[in-house]
Chain A
């Protein structure tokens, strides 16, 4: 059974940093593209960043709203996806979901997601 478990969320002041983690199990992690998708309170889903699977040479893409402030990475030896977030703003407040793509390309639909971790940016 595919499982994705996010962690690392919490309360952080504006301008601060956080690193989110997503522990994956139940599938060959290295093969599949992975993404982070967020949902601000009462709002719709918003894609944040994606990283390709092994056949995509782990290429990365970012939404314009976070480009330059976040870095997505993966440790295939630990079956873990990361999102390093810097210079956090109030508008980054959201539940962050880890999402698995159905293929090695990040352009493939998301077939599984975690339960999310809440990031709150506030002073």
Chain B
């Protein structure tokens, strides 16, 4: 079982806005920055959001991140078919002295 809790699935229609949540604790999200990773089918994970809400160059501004307390969220606006992928959150955990991930959310574009 993953330390960070994400819904296993999410869905939306093209153009819609969807949000994926990530719940942790004071030893991880409550203290450290959250990053988000996108994994397209059959490929390796790719950094999508870092430091809670920063986008690497090349990531469309349709993707945004936020954090409040011990929870974080990834929002995708103007949903496109190519956004269909697995999305995972991650943070450092100082009680485990290691990285913890969410179990991943499979996003389906209907």
Contacts and interface: CB of A to CB of B under 8 A. Distances in A.
A50 interface: yes
Interface in A43-64: 43-47, 50, 61-64
Contacts of B47: 109-112
Q: Chain A interface secondary structure, helix, strand, loop or mixed?
A: strand
A8 B97 CA distance: 27
Interface of A: 35, 37, 43-47, 50, 61-64, 97, 102, 106-107, 109-116
| B interface residue count range (under 10 / 10 to 19 / 20 to 34 / 35 or more) | 20 to 34
B64 to A, nearest CB: 16
A58 to B, nearest CB: 16
B50 A109 contact: yes
Nearest to A46: B101
B32 A45 contact: no
Q: Which of A44, A46, A97 has most B Cβ within 10 Å? A: A44
Contacts of A43: 103
